[in-house]
Structure 1
Amino acid sequence: MTPTEPRTDSRADRFVRELAELRIPDPAATRSALWLRLGGTLMAAGLLLALSAYFVTHNTQNPLDQRDGLALGLGGIAATVVGAALFLRHSLTGFLRFWMARQSHDLAVLADRLCERDLNHDLTGTDTAPR
């Protein structure tokens, strides 16, 4: 298609076609979704582990059991932090990947508009300067 021919497809159709040409993986791919679910599960399991450790340490007078509960609680907190990091990383990756593709598409549309304006620009010098 030459720049002077009118476009027959809609803007959304062009965006989908250009996304396919860029070969950007789908954010809902199985591997990314697996890591996202693993992060959420690890967050929930870590919170449950820390909560159960609280009850273990407060329902006994034996110092050995209390120390085991403290170690269990620290493990739960660590699991929660790791799960939150995994969840945040993979949820933001999908969003930012789409955002970057959208920005690329919008810049291409802007470049097309500027090129069309330059092609239609009167070169005799009688029109005013663009603002």
Structure 2
Amino acid sequence: MTSTETRADRFVSELAVLKIPDPAAARAGLWLRLGVALMALGLVLVVSAYFISHNTGDQLVQNDALTLGLTGVAASVVGSALFLRYSLTGFLRFWMARQSYDLTLLADRLLERDIRHDLTGTDAAPR
């Protein structure tokens, strides 16, 4: 470890050393893309239903457009939930690894301080 290496660089290098593969990474990416596609499809359905319902006077066609619009809203809500869930997964996984690293670093510092304090032998270390 060099003196110019930042704490973030050390963290990234230690994560690379762990070599923990994520077996569900491809599946999570698929669900993330599916969520984006559902949001876009829902928006297209809602806009097309609006134009269909306003360009006709037939109530049966307007009811079909209403059903199409509600389907679009449902697709957008489901797509948003999928997108939110799988986009936050990556962030929270990194955050949890970061917390684990910081707690390990803190424990090492406290242990080192206790060892140095015990070696001086002036007073008992508080426990």
Name the TM tier (shorter chain).
0.7 to 0.9
Q: Write out aligned runs for 1:26-105 (5 A).
A: 29-105=25-101
TM-score, length-scaled by structure 1 = 0.79
Task: Tell me the distance in 1 between the aligned counterparts of 2:73 and 2:90.
Answer: 26
8 Å CA contact 1:43–1:83 kept in 2: the answer is: yes
Could you say if the C-alpha distance between residues 84 and 14 of structure 1 is closer, same or farther in structure 2, counting changes exceeding 3 Å? closer
Cα offsets for 1:62-92 (capped at 9, x unmatched): 0110000000000000000000000000000
Q: Per the alignment, in what secondary structure is the counterpart of residue 125 of structure 1? A: coil
The 1:74/1:20 distance shift into structure 2, 3 A limit, reads farther
**In structure 2, C-alpha distance between the alignment counterparts of 1:99 and 1:26, rounded to whole Å:** 19
Paired residues in the alignment total 120
Instruction: State the TM-score, normalized to the length of structure 2.
Output: 0.82
Query: Aligned residue for 1:123?
Result: 121
The gaps in structure 2 that reach 5 residues or longer are: none
- Displacement of 1:22 in angstroms is 7.8
Higher relative contact order (CA 8 A, sep 6+): 1
Distance, in Å, in 2 between the alignment partners of 1:113 and 1:26 is: 34
Q: What is the SS of the residue equivalent to 2:122?
A: coil
The answer for the alignment partner of 2:18 in structure 1 is 21
- Cα deviation for residue 124 of structure 1 reads 1.9
Any gaps of 5 or more consecutive residues in structure 1? 1-7
Q: Give the CA RMSD over aligned residues.
A: 2.5
Aligned identity (percent) is 57
Query: More helix per residue: 1 or 2?
Result: 2
In 2, the alpha carbon distance for the partners of 1:120 and 1:84 equals 53
Structure 1 counterpart of 2:109: 113
- Measure, in 2, the Cα distance between the counterparts of 1:24 and 1:30: 11
Mapped contact 1:15–1:105 kept (Cα < 8 A)? no
- Report deviation, 1:17: 3.3
C-alpha spacing 1:24/1:110, structure 2 compared with 1 (3 Å):
farther
